[in-house]
Amino acid sequence: MTLRSEALEGGLAYAYFEAEFHSSDEINGATPVRVGTVPEVGLRGDERPENYGVKLSGFVCVPKDAFYTFYLSSDDGARVRIAGALVIDRDGPQRGSENPGHIALRAGCHPLKVVFFQATGPARLHLEVSAPDLHKGPVPRQWYSHLQ
């Protein structure tokens, strides 16, 4: 996919759903209550405490060809797809923990989709990255973009 930089805007598209979900797949057919943008993979902070879902979409634009490891912290379930590949699968209700996923990427922008649901209890959604010559840390905000 060739992207023109003038067609991109920083951050990710955000869709918020209110319902009881048991799998991130259930969110794909739901109608969002509201939409907007977020600067990075995470929650906006105005979600209700329990029983909701979030879908984030856009692109992750990496600076060089490398083998990247992404680390997802979520409570409850979530899935991360990059360039169509399922990189991290933490689906289903579960306690917060971190799961890594690996993918080789060429320099440039790759489609990113994160689907998350919150059942009950604490909520968390955070994505970090590492690569050769890149220490583990939050994915830089300037790596995220979405179509205008």
- Is residue 42 scored above 80 in pLDDT? yes
Domains of the chain: 8-147 (2.60.120.1560)
Predicted TM-score (pTM) of the model is 0.91
The predicted-structure confidence for 117-148, as pLDDT tens digits, reads as follows 998 888 889 999 999 999 999 999 999 999 98
Q: Give the residue among 55, 9, 10 at the shortest CA–CA distance from 30.
A: 55
pLDDT at 148: 80
What lies within 8 Å, CB to CB, of 135 at 6+ separation is: none
User: Which amino acid is located at 98 in the chain?
Assistant: E
How far is residue 24's CA from residue 3's CA, in Å, rounded to a whole number?
28
| 118 touches 94 (CB < 8 A) | no
Structure token digits, residue 28: 């794909």
| 14 touches 35 (CB < 8 A) | yes
